[in-house]
Structure 1
């Protein structure tokens, strides 16, 4: 982020409409080049050099307060409350809205006074006016300002309705409208605060301090002061403060906060650990590999916040629709107020009252809030369960997926094959010398097969004292290198297609039919050795593929560079419908393009080797995002655990989110349409109007907040 790009925390944005207005106001400042409001995270990203005073002036219509994000984050980490019970949540809501409850009490006394003294209404009128002043002053003030600037938002609609109601003497109903509108806004604000708290709880996962060794003493220091390379000491029962590598000790670590895995993982020397995970037993000494702002959880938090800005097509459509919807409601209300009296000569007062009621019904609060609350709830819930979804657009795309393509090695399989057979294809060479050269050459690459061969040679006790030069990678097929007296070529059978004798073909085919991967070794001009390796299918793969099938993912495709026999064996074992083998990276890309022409396709891979295919797919899903920065950066969706068990959950959550949005839009529009139909017989009242608006807002927010509690039941 450059010096002129800065993030600020914002307090006081009560609705999505207010957030959009604040964004427009800030963008219009002379000192600002561009601004983007993140309503879900209560932040604004500003390019330019405005002062905090300028930003707060731009949000004066809502009494918005602006803070430096870094300092506010530290305060927030200290102040964020634990998960509250339902009783505590209700209690908190009542405490935060004392003025609203006092105004409600005034209304009750006002109606009692009206009932007891029907002739002398001065006391009831005073009580009603006081209640309006207490709970509706900011609404009316902002509404009048918007009307002067021809900004016809929901506050402008409500102000016209309240003013009109007062003019025709409906004080009792007007005050109820004001109070219920204030209550509706309070509920909307409360629900968004709960969603934000859910996301902010991610920030509390990692400890604020770490125990490190400095000047031969163990001291506790803030995580910001820990350097890469420092030794971190973590006792049993403590959380790990920073990402690192275990250098000493052994312990069981619960990684559920990061990867969503419910089963703790054994950690010992050389294993990677993550900030925010819990050391359940034992003692660990950890070499810090990432600073506090570079840890996996820090990146996840940042990416979750960024994800909220990327609107789903459904959300963008609703916002566009709302811009035309509000003026349309005003025209309808005007028509209801003047056309019947002009045409039929009916009472002007009655139809003016009906027109004002239409304005209240048309308030777009519920419609505007219906999508962002659902999207933010879905994204933050997914992150808490080990699935990082990088935007509403990807959440919506994932819900539509019917075709899913998988890489084989490291995705469906463990990606850690073992050498299971070595066949000498010819005589006349020293076995150990050739294996030493093979291992020395394979040490120059990080391919899983290469690592397996090196491990096999080391376990056999063969000394690798060979020096290799002129190493040449044969993309997707093998590797070549020059030693003192020999040139070694190691690769897949197709690399040597023209040199294979019939008996060698038979040997290769026999190994591949057993589901093994074959690597051939050529020394100078002689094919001398066949190495057979076998990768183990992940225990979860078959179950995950079966769950995806039940979720309606009808086409499950494997894209692999391995031989067709090996690929087919594994594909049949786990439930793949289509197998495409012997593929180079560009071939995988071509197949993804072909599949995407038929219907939306997701690609599941490791985020590195499959980058082109992941990028081209409608949804790129990377596995093992907790340990691969590339996966977090390149994929649309990252499964933070190193297996696919969270994939069905991600699909299910995406569909539930989109279904919730559709229900919310239906509720918001349906209740309004039902209320508007009451205009025909002349039954619509301000009471019914505001109840339909508040009811819609309450229902859509509660419906969206259900997404905060969607658990992963598929992996249990």
Structure 2
């Protein structure tokens, strides 16, 4: 751009005297007017209009513990109309407690079932696994050895006990195909309506019931998103219908999708993204594909898995959901400031260049307009540091 304006100034220097009979030298001369035009047309303010705004916004986010993996994420955030949340660990604390173990079919003791469950969960990274291990530790029960442990992503865990019995723990959809008729009948008769996982040891069936608490900031954060950011809110989770509806009713969420496996969640995110820009907020390994597919993926830095953090575009280092509404508003403000900067920079250039050629603007005034426009653009961008 600078080369273009330099060549244009040279053109004016040699053509103005012949077209308008101007002298080459003097304050009314072609060289003086060409130099004034070159200074007035220099696009310094235009060049810094966008990067200074993005850098200021990114710095403001960093001070609040929000990590952005690039400035273009602000553009994407500003265009979003829908926000989808995972439940466990995102809207809730993710610190589950195993408050009850129910024997649904069989004669194995609860203590032995807990030992086998703890043996399976030792190699897992999930809030339910932590709850089972914590319960076993509190009851001073040693996890049973499971030599051929295997994880089935999005479903559960399986292995073989020291007695040779096959053991599985996880989502009911993972366990039900392996149940005998008696065990299936027992499960259907006492189907859990709370957050739970199912343990199968040979032909014997157990249900582990968990409790989870909502984050203190969940309700006010979602209300702020609805009222201030005007975002539609959805809940995507792999949990059961009853537990999901209980949380959704408390938080006032109308769009609810439950019993979702990782691939189901990915498909649902792709579907919702077509309705407008989608922000996906999650924390677990199972959320990683959905976080990567969403318009903007946001993960929790403390409780979140390394896979989720790597797949996301934004990381909340302090796991504070109240930052989401602030971030969306900051992104929209950044877009507005960028537009203001561009309009201001272009206005200064357009208003100064033509008068410079006509001799109405002296050289010193062109310098003031050029530098003043650059300073004003910079100061306008610095407002985003707040």
The TM-score with structure 1 as length reference comes to: 0.48
Does the 8 Å CA contact 2:84/2:233 hold for their aligned counterparts? Answer: yes
Q: Does structure 1 residue 384 correspond to structure 2 residue 76?
A: no
1:2-81, aligned counterparts within 5 Å? none
User: How far has the Cα of 1:648 moved from its partner?
Assistant: 2.2
Q: 1:394 aligns with which of 49, 73, 77?
A: 73
Q: Does structure 1 residue 482 correspond to structure 2 residue 169?
A: no
Unpaired runs of 5+ in structure 2?
none
Does the 8 Å CA contact 1:382/1:650 hold for their aligned counterparts? Answer: yes
Once residues 594 and 559 of structure 1 are traced to their aligned partners in structure 2, the CA distance between those partners, rounded to angstroms, is 12
1:646-685, aligned counterparts within 5 Å? 646-676=323-353, 678=355, 683-685=360-362
User: How far has the Cα of 1:668 moved from its partner?
Assistant: 0.7
Q: How many equivalent residue pairs?
A: 377
Query: Secondary structure of the residue that 2:150 maps to in structure 1?
Result: strand
Once residues 33 and 332 of structure 2 are traced to their aligned partners in structure 1, the CA distance between those partners, rounded to angstroms, is 40
Q: Does structure 1 residue 507 correspond to structure 2 residue 200?
A: no
Aligned to 1:432: 111
Once residues 632 and 420 of structure 1 are traced to their aligned partners in structure 2, the CA distance between those partners, rounded to angstroms, is 30
**Residues 579 and 333 (structure 1 numbering): CA distance in 2 closer, same or farther, change over 3 Å?**
farther
Q: Does structure 1 residue 371 correspond to structure 2 residue 54?
A: no
Deviation by residue 1:270-326 (Cα, 9 ceiling, x = unmatched): xxxxxxxxxxxxxxxxxxxxxxxxxxxxxxxxxxxxxxxxxxxxxxxxxxxxxxxx6
Deviation by residue 1:52-108 (Cα, 9 ceiling, x = unmatched): xxxxxxxxxxxxxxxxxxxxxxxxxxxxxxxxxxxxxxxxxxxxxxxxxxxxxxxxx
Hey, which bits of structure 1, 4+ residues long, moved more than 6 A?
A: none
Deviation by residue 1:159-195 (Cα, 9 ceiling, x = unmatched): xxxxxxxxxxxxxxxxxxxxxxxxxxxxxxxxxxxxx
1:85-96, aligned counterparts within 5 Å? none
Once residues 390 and 430 of structure 1 are traced to their aligned partners in structure 2, the CA distance between those partners, rounded to angstroms, is 50
Aligned to 1:599: 276
Query: Secondary structure of the residue that 1:444 maps to in structure 2?
Result: coil
1:251-650, aligned counterparts within 5 Å? 327=4, 330-331=7-8, 334=11, 338=15, 342=19, 345=20, 347-348=22-23, 350=28, 352=30, 353-426=32-105, 428-461=107-140, 463-464=141-142, 466-485=144-163, 486-497=165-176, 499=179, 501=184, 504-505=187-188, 507-508=190-191, 511-512=192-193, 516-527=194-205, 529-606=206-283, 608-624=285-301, 633-650=310-327
Once residues 285 and 223 of structure 2 are traced to their aligned partners in structure 1, the CA distance between those partners, rounded to angstroms, is 26
User: How far has the Cα of 1:360 moved from its partner?
Assistant: 1.9
Query: Secondary structure of the residue that 1:429 maps to in structure 2?
Result: coil
Query: Secondary structure of the residue that 1:598 maps to in structure 2?
Result: coil
Structure with greater contact order relative to length (CA < 8 Å, sep ≥ 6): 2
User: How far has the Cα of 1:541 moved from its partner?
Assistant: 1.3
Aligned to 1:689: 366
What RMSD, in angstroms, separates the aligned Cα atoms of the two structures? Answer: 3.0
Query: Secondary structure of the residue that 1:469 maps to in structure 2?
Result: coil
Once residues 686 and 433 of structure 1 are traced to their aligned partners in structure 2, the CA distance between those partners, rounded to angstroms, is 90
Once residues 677 and 632 of structure 1 are traced to their aligned partners in structure 2, the CA distance between those partners, rounded to angstroms, is 52
**Residues 694 and 646 (structure 1 numbering): CA distance in 2 closer, same or farther, change over 3 Å?**
same
Unpaired runs of 5+ in structure 1?
1-151, 154-325, 711-716
Does the 8 Å CA contact 2:240/2:258 hold for their aligned counterparts? Answer: yes
Query: Secondary structure of the residue that 1:591 maps to in structure 2?
Result: helix
**Residues 659 and 337 (structure 1 numbering): CA distance in 2 closer, same or farther, change over 3 Å?**
farther
Once residues 411 and 626 of structure 1 are traced to their aligned partners in structure 2, the CA distance between those partners, rounded to angstroms, is 9
User: How far has the Cα of 1:706 moved from its partner?
Assistant: 2.3
Deviation by residue 1:337-361 (Cα, 9 ceiling, x = unmatched): 846962xx55456472444432221
Once residues 172 and 143 of structure 2 are traced to their aligned partners in structure 1, the CA distance between those partners, rounded to angstroms, is 27
Once residues 392 and 545 of structure 1 are traced to their aligned partners in structure 2, the CA distance between those partners, rounded to angstroms, is 25
Once residues 377 and 284 of structure 2 are traced to their aligned partners in structure 1, the CA distance between those partners, rounded to angstroms, is 37
Query: Secondary structure of the residue that 1:694 maps to in structure 2?
Result: helix
User: How far has the Cα of 1:623 moved from its partner?
Assistant: 0.8
**Residues 506 and 338 (structure 1 numbering): CA distance in 2 closer, same or farther, change over 3 Å?**
farther
Once residues 665 and 403 of structure 1 are traced to their aligned partners in structure 2, the CA distance between those partners, rounded to angstroms, is 29
User: How far has the Cα of 1:627 moved from its partner?
Assistant: 8.1
